[in-house]
Amino acid sequence: MPERLIFHVDVNSAFLSWEAVERLRQGETTDLRAIPSIVGGDREKRRGVVLAKSIPAKAYGVATGEPIVDALRKCPQLLCVPARHGLYSRCSHAFIEILARFAPVIEQVSVDEAFADMTGTSLLYGPPLEAAARIKNTIRDELGFTVNVGVSSNKLLAKMASDFQKPDRIHTLFPKELPEKMWPLPVGQLFSVGRATERSLAELGIHTIGDLAHSDLALLRSRLKKQGEVIWNYANGLDERPVEAAPAEAKSYGNETTLAQDITHLHEARPVLLALCESVAARLRADQVQASCITVKYTDYQFGGQTHQRMLPSPTDVTEEIYQTSVALLTQMWKSRIPLRLLGVSASRLSDGGFYQYNLFDGEKHERLGRLDTAIDAIRSRYGSDAIRRGRFLPPPDRQDG
């Protein structure tokens, strides 16, 4: 039986790269990827959050998920462009379609990243590095944007490898390479180690991934419970999870973001939820499907978390309806206001949008909101992302929720 060969393919600064490529195709001469720039928010109103950043913006300390006002404080010359989620959905589909030419099994984990099980494909595409180069270069040449490819024998190490130096790179991280490539790294760079866990490990004298790999598992279990065992396995490169293609009937549309700073109030969470819901709803509309189930999840600073979902009276692709449901779900499950590290929204139970169950009170509102979303999509598609922006992206600055 051939040794497992797993690729993790990750689009470099996806939303920003896709914006840059589209703008260059439309005749613009400035490449967003080459200047300090971000996707997200409104520069003039100093509202919104950073959805994606260029490498030059990252050099100023700009972080995904942070408020626009903080990003502008770090980099006053920052160019801010609003998001076009219909465009991103099309680019994501094109990206996955190219992967499907090469890999027998693909597991898409977000709009801009996927695992590919390349086991047994060497006779078709050559050795691992050659196969990875063919995938990377095909995406670059046909679609105009770049990806990183991590190559290993399991999913964890492939993902870790793809996060090494960017952009447009291929990196290997096989078990024999752990002492040289992974163990010297700060423990906070290990997948699933958040800031709170990093602080707990530091109290135990664990500062690098190598320290963690060679630490006492029993001690980690006593201090961090199940999470201690998980990260010990990861530090030692152990991960038996298969690459699983999601069945069509289980398909959902989702987006999540790790926050630049912990969130402790609902008014801080609202703009993040709105950005996530805009992304999800725009992708639903681009694919001409609607969802009957909305799910919100969070991960807190202690790496705990919750997931709540709600069935809707009728399928929808309306941003406002998905957003209001998401706010209600988060409000319902986040009562202790424990600091949040990650937020996610997904839409499932999909249909083709051919039926809507009207009621006496919300039918007209649903139609009006749907027409508004359709008009926004059409204007952005025809005239560009700067043509129209949502005015209500953040609540008033003086508002204090819960």
**CA pair distance 297, 379, nearest whole angstrom:** 32
Superfamily of structural domain 183-235: 5' to 3' exonuclease, C-terminal subdomain (1.10.150.20)
The sign one gets for the Cα dihedral 175, 177, 180, 185 is negative
SS3 10: strand
142 tagged catalytic: no
Query: 145 with 91: CB under 8 angstroms?
Result: yes
pLDDT digits over 333-351, tens only?
997 778 998 999 999 888 7
226 band by pLDDT with thresholds 50, 70 and 90:
confident
- Specify the CATH number of the domain 250-385: 3.30.1490.100
Nearest to 39 by CA among 91, 88, 80, 84: 80
Task: Give the range with max mean pLDDT: 38-47, 129-138, 362-371, 387-396.
Answer: 129-138
Q: Which of 22, 113, 268, 321 is catalytic?
A: 113
pLDDT digits over 141-179, tens only?
999 999 999 999 999 999 999 999 989 999 999 999 999
Nearest to 282 by CA among 389, 392, 394, 376: 376
38 band by pLDDT with thresholds 50, 70 and 90:
very high
What is the domain partition of the chain in residue ranges? 16-85, 183-235, 250-385
User: What does the mean pLDDT of the chain come to?
Assistant: 85
Q: 61-75 burial string, b = 16+ CB within 10 Å, else e?
A: ebbbbbbbbbbbeeb
SS3 47: strand
Which of the pair, 75 or 42, is modelled with greater confidence?
Answer: 75
- Specify the CATH number of the domain 16-85: 3.40.1170.60
User: What is this structure's pTM?
Assistant: 0.64
